[in-house]
Amino acid sequence: MDDIDGRGRSGPIVGVLRAARNAGFAVDVDGEKLRVTGPQTRSDILDEIREHKAAIIEAITHPPAGVSHYTERMKSGIEWLSTCWDKLLDGATSGGVSYNDGEAMADAFAANLERWYNLDIELRRVYPEFRGCPVGGCRTEAIVSCMHCAAPAESRPQP
Ligand SMILES: [Zn+2]
């Protein structure tokens, strides 16, 4: 994988963010500040985050180029899925799709839906500095939504 993108990304930041996530931390940028929520008992993680604060802000606000490898596939993926979903609904109501075609399409839909979710998971695992929605905001009526759009409460600042 392209772990270095010319921004010195190969540094400790990815490791720190991964460790933080695994320990149950949410790390995000709020304006110029870093917003960190998580278990107070993990002062080791908090120290790491504090130590690399500036670099973490830089990493989150400037996602590496490799992210687009995922977001582009996910954008065309979500288009395919919504087109397919419309066809499936059409077929179900108008009989426009024969039973066998409809079944094959439903299978393809399910397989691609799973692929799409896996891309979302992989993107956030490979690039733990990535924040937000990979497709620029999943539509509310969409049949799929990314982890960010599906769980807005988690990404909101804690009171
Ligand atoms: Zn989304």
Same-domain pairing of 42 and 73: no
Is 5 part of any domain? no
Distance 82 CA to ligand 1 centre (A): 14
Same-domain pairing of 79 and 96: yes
Distance 68 CA to ligand 1 centre (A): 15
Is 2 part of any domain? no
- Find where tokens 């490791």 sit: 15
Same-domain pairing of 79 and 27: no
Contact criterion met (CB below 8 Å) for 13 and 56: yes
Tell me the pLDDT tens digit for each residue of 81-120.
989 988 888 876 665 556 567 788 999 999 999 999 999 9
First-to-last C-alpha distance (Å) of the chain:
38
pTM confidence score:
0.77
Distance 143 CA to ligand 1 centre (A): 11
Distance 26 CA to ligand 1 centre (A): 17
Same-domain pairing of 72 and 140: yes
Of 81, 62, 70, residue with least CA distance to 13: 62
Is 111 part of any domain? yes
* Tally of domains in the chain: 2
Distance 43 CA to ligand 1 centre (A): 32
Is 3 part of any domain? no
Distance 151 CA to ligand 1 centre (A): 9
Same-domain pairing of 126 and 53: no
Is 120 part of any domain? yes
CATH for 32: 1.10.10
> pLDDT band at residue 124, thresholds of 50, 70 and 90?
very high
Is 4 part of any domain? no
Is 117 part of any domain? yes
Distance 72 CA to ligand 1 centre (A): 13
Same-domain pairing of 149 and 116: yes
- The dihedral over CA atoms of 159, 151, 53, 21, expressed in degrees to the nearest 10, equals 110
Is 8 part of any domain? no
Same-domain pairing of 127 and 97: yes
Report which of residues 93 and 49 the model is more confident about.
Answer: 49
Phi, psi of 15, rounded to the nearest 5 degrees: -65, -40
Residues lying with their CB under 5 A of ligand 1, a single-atom ion:
133, 138, 146, 149
Q: Is the predicted pLDDT of residue 70 greater than 90, yes or no?
A: yes
Distance 131 CA to ligand 1 centre (A): 10
- Structural domain including 40 reads 13-61
